Structure 1
Amino acid sequence: MSSIIVNEKDISLLIQTDQLFAEIHHLHQSPPNWSRPPGFTTLAKIILEQQVSLSSAHAHFLKLEGYIKEFTPANILKISDDEMRNCQISRQKSKYLRELSNAILYKEIDLEEFPNLDEVEIRKQLTSIKGIGHWTADVYLMFCLGAKDILPLGDIAIVNTLKELTGAKNKEEMLALSEKWKPFRSLATYFLWHHYLIKRNRQSSQPGYSS
């Protein structure tokens, strides 16, 4: 599945589908090709990023790393509730990290096999784990696996930017609007994030914030 989301050929095709992206491209040029390494560590980080700022999540992750020599599912399961609290990780997210760790250790999912699976199957496997919803799956699919047709409507920046630029009032309208962007909705998402971050003078930031 892995591919480069931001490329000149797909940009040209997307711009032809909707003037919105031609305007964003004219104003801000192409977005970065945001990506992350696939695997357990990144997926755990995305869980920590749910409904908090990326800087807060990163601080919590660094504290968590301080308790273990290697960031593995087995080592995460050795961390006590008190140690999780010392990392400012909520009880709920602690449970989610353990659920993910157990799923990997008991071979309920195999992250290394994901590049050989289609998006539907990957999403099904990820969301079968408590604490992983569609936003987390969307971010992993795009950033780690290069899935090309994702529109993460659980992402507050995407929703707010679509409201601002298109006047769409709800997610149903946004989904309908995005039909013409297929099969390049991940690229459309990157353009929307790009616009959102530049408008807020946060060009050096990485996107991703769940609602």
Structure 2
Amino acid sequence: QEASSLLPVAALVDAFKGSPLPAGLRVLDAAAAPGGKTTALASWVASAGGVVVANEPNASRSKALVDNLLRTGSMPWVAVTQLDARQCGSRWPEEFDAVLLDAPCSGESLTRRGEPISERWDQAQEKISALAHLQQKLVSSAFEALRPGGVMVYSTCTLNIHENEGVVAFLEETYKDAVERMPLLELPGTERMQTPDGYLRCWPQLSDTQ
């Protein structure tokens, strides 16, 4: 994974800057494999005696996640689960101080790896619409697992607005005043990623990353 994959973790950590971390900090990584973000989150919560619940429903990806956590020595601060992430909110209502949802997506930014652009950008609209619908369910579930006053970061590795801004708009429309957008203007190193409407967009051609 590239350095940009840790940007969502940096945004989450930055949201807690300036105040002591809650004792026993509880963080949900709702779609955790292969584990790079989980490892970074574990390092963060360790100082507060916290725990990261790393959720990955796919059995083979969950094994890779555990292998990576063992390799990096992160397991003392991580509990691994295999729940369908659409059920996180009903299983753990308002349980977490922070939630990271790096959602399954169409992966348009992966063209930087050399994959043909046509295979990513010419995807049928039906596929993108289906993914956006899934992401809406995932983001709703993740939000319902968040305690009042908690912080959630939503991210993807794709470029179209349907799977990004569109999903955030859905969350805001669904939960109204319960959602408050947090500014990202002071997040170090993101000056070229800032958008006028308050999002971060990591364009491959500008940042030399996915």
Identify whether the pair has TM-score above 0.5, normalized to the shorter chain. Answer: no
TM-score normalised over the length of structure 1: 0.26
Structure with a larger share of its residues in strand: 2
Higher RCO (Cα < 8 Å, 6 or more apart): 1
How high is the TM-score relative to the length of structure 2?
A: 0.26
Larger Rg: 1
Instruction: Answer 1 or 2: which has greater helix percent.
Output: 1
